[in-house]
Structure 1
């Protein structure tokens, strides 16, 4: 299948996992950091549950691409805390670090830490030091991630649809670590393939479309960050956002993005479609 190159707008660039034109920012408030990451290119909103756009499933669905943290696993808080601990020696910058992390879910920790040093701490960072920091991040988070619960409905959905649809994982977690986590959770067997960093989300989606000869209209991507939405939009793939119920400070999503509370919602949508309905 021959694919057109992805459509990436100026500003937030999902493929590079960062910002263009924001390198000189010295924002320290976490909401400002989040706004820098996505506000230039996406019209963002935090709708209430009642305001969520109804979710539709296109006819001819053949594949679903899932993010991991916050979509399959309730692991976002664990990794947020790991960033707090990783930069505990810089208390005046921790909120900005966390804000950037939350606004850029799906971006690899390597790119996030590089950004933090260059734009928030304004300190040089050698590649050897970056490797040490990334290893420390893994030591702070991996054991906790292995013990977090699945997002509600994940196993039921995968059991119901892994033989009927081509299912994939696209994550910013390093490839080897991602495979280890999914193996530990007993989830890897449900997926045709799982992809982590150093590939970006845009690169992963393009590879899935190409290698499995899928048209964008046959695919849904489920994520929890604006970067996930941007990657799906780049390839013309339908995007559904998972917004955790009860989250008091959700990361803003582009206005009008379809949302679910958990994967049980997606299971209900799919069952409704099979029974003749297309909306919830």
Structure 2
């Protein structure tokens, strides 16, 4: 089972299992450092961010779209928006990279990824642009466990399709591991198997779901192959 295993990254690999929070919460907080203007109401800013995140879920957009939505809301002129998107996204990446490195990856998860990489071919499928995702994996010392890293501008669905093509396997031979309903829907759209990771923000997954749910990536190998094998 699981000849090819595809992982989302945020709140899946980068997750504090004690608190249920991870890199998604780091990103949420980062926006308020990227837009520190005192006349920007924090409630309005939060609403714009959440509304845009819903629109771009599943890799239909990324941080560039969030920045653009905020700038448009606050009346930035078109000739300034592109420059500001670049500047603010660079700042966002710096804050997020710093936060993820501070969060780190547990020894249990690191060991699980190493063990899984010896049994299966591993990939990353994320809504984060590919370049900063690769930078994060390299900084955490995880890049070598993954054959490929797929992110924006691809969607979660198109990335799964590309992985199936590269590996020349049917979709039902691919296992997608993610933490959000959009991950499940992406896997379902192409016919992948799916395992969910339980976090603080997806509290609906604390009750029975139509797919297995784990509390940590460290639980994956025993679930797939059994303990002591």
Shared fold, TM over 0.5 = yes
Do structure 1's residue 63 and structure 2's residue 15 form an aligned pair?
no
Q: Deviation per CA, 1:199-253, whole angstroms, max 9, x where unpaired?
A: 2212211110111112111011111122222221221112222112xx2x43656
Q: Where in structure 2 are there 5+ consecutive unaligned residues?
A: 16-22
The question of 1:265 aligning with 2:219 is answered yes
Asked if residue 169 in structure 1 is aligned to residue 124 in structure 2, the reply is yes
Matched positions, count: 211
Q: Which runs of 5+ in 1 are unaligned?
A: 1-59, 276-280
- Give the aligned partner of residue 86 of structure 2: 131
Give the 5 Å matches for 1:33-182.
60-74=1-15, 75-88=23-36, 89-100=40-51, 104=57, 107-117=61-71, 121=73, 123=75, 126-150=81-105, 153-182=108-137
CA RMSD of aligned residues (A): 2.8
2:188 corresponds to: 233
Partners of 2:52 and 2:65 within 8 A in 1 = no
User: 1:90 offset after TM fit, Å?
Assistant: 3.2
The 3-state SS of whatever aligns with 2:42 is: coil
Q: Quote the Cα distance in structure 1 between the aligned partners of 2:42 and 2:8.
A: 30
Cα distance 1:109–1:171, how it changes in 2: closer, same or farther (>3 A)?
A: same
Are the aligned partners of 2:104 and 2:140 in contact in 1 as well (CA < 8 Å)? no
Q: CA deviation at 1:274?
A: 8.3
Q: Does the 8 Å contact 1:240/1:260 carry over to 2?
A: yes
- Conserved? CA contact 2:49–2:66, under 8 Å: no
Give CA deviations for 1:71-121 in whole Å, capped at 9, x if unaligned.
111322211110233344232313314534775475521233334556xx3
- Give the conservation status (yes or no) of the 8 Å contact 2:121–2:146: yes
For the residue of structure 1 that corresponds to 2:223, the secondary structure is helix
TM-score scaled to structure 1, two decimals? 0.66
CA-CA distance at 1:257 after TM superposition:
4.2
Report the TM-score, using the length of structure 2 for normalisation. 0.79
Asked if structure 2 preserves the Cα contact closer than 8 Å seen for 1:105 and 1:226, the reply is no
Structure-1 separation of matches of 2:146 and 2:4: 10
User: Do 2:49 and 2:70's aligned partners in 1 also have CA atoms closer than 8 Å?
Assistant: no
CA shift, 1:153, in A, is 3.3
**2:191 counterpart of 1:250:** no
